[in-house]
Structure 1
Amino acid sequence: MKMERVLEILQSEKDIPVHYKGVPIWIEGVDKNSCLATIQARGTHDESRVLSIDGLEEI
């Protein structure tokens, strides 16, 4: 996913479905300089993970 779209999703009031490797996730934040996103799997209380935005897919 491109950085511009990640930022749009973060700023949106709508619930925009995003997946990482087929798993629905929340984007908690993004680091523009490193192109890394902090994510958490939806519906879980798993710890947050940091990963490249390249692996994010809008569904």
Structure 2
Amino acid sequence: MEQNRVKQILSSSADIDVRYNGVSVWIDELHEDGTTATVHLRGPLEQRSTVNISELIEG
């Protein structure tokens, strides 16, 4: 996923499906480096991870 799309998703009020390694995630924030973001799994587990935005796929 590109940096501009991540920013659009973060500013949107819509529920946009984003996947990381085939699992649906929420994007929490885009980091200042513009290449990584903090995400967490949708659902009861709110474990956060830092991932490369190139590995995020809009579902």
TM-score normalised over the length of structure 1:
0.92
Q: Alignment RMSD, CA only? A: 1.1
Uncovered stretches (5+) of structure 2, i.e. residues with no partner:
none
- Between the two proteins, what is the percent identity of the paired residues? 36
* Partner residue, 1:3: 3
Hey, what's the Cα distance between the residues in 1 that align with 2:10 and 2:3?
A: 11
| Aligned partners of 1:29 and 1:37 also within 8 Å | yes
Looking at structure 1, the residues matched to 15 and 48 of structure 2 have their Cα atoms a distance apart, in angstroms, of 19
Structure 2 CA distance for aligned equivalents of residues 34 and 16 of structure 1:
20
Are the counterparts in 2 of residues 38 and 48 from structure 1 also a CA contact under 8 Å?
A: yes
Structure 2 SS opposite 1:38: strand
Q: Which ranges in structure 1 are unaligned for 5 or more consecutive residues?
A: none
5 Å-filtered alignment, 1:13-24, equals 13-24=13-24
Separation (CA, whole Å) in 2 of partners of 1:11 and 1:46: 20
Deviation >3 Å, runs of 4+: none
State how 1:1-59 maps to structure 2 within 5 Å: 1-59=1-59
* Aligned positions, number: 59
Q: Which deviates further from its counterpart, 41-50 or 12-21?
A: 41-50
**Alignment TM-score, normalising by the size of structure 2:** 0.92
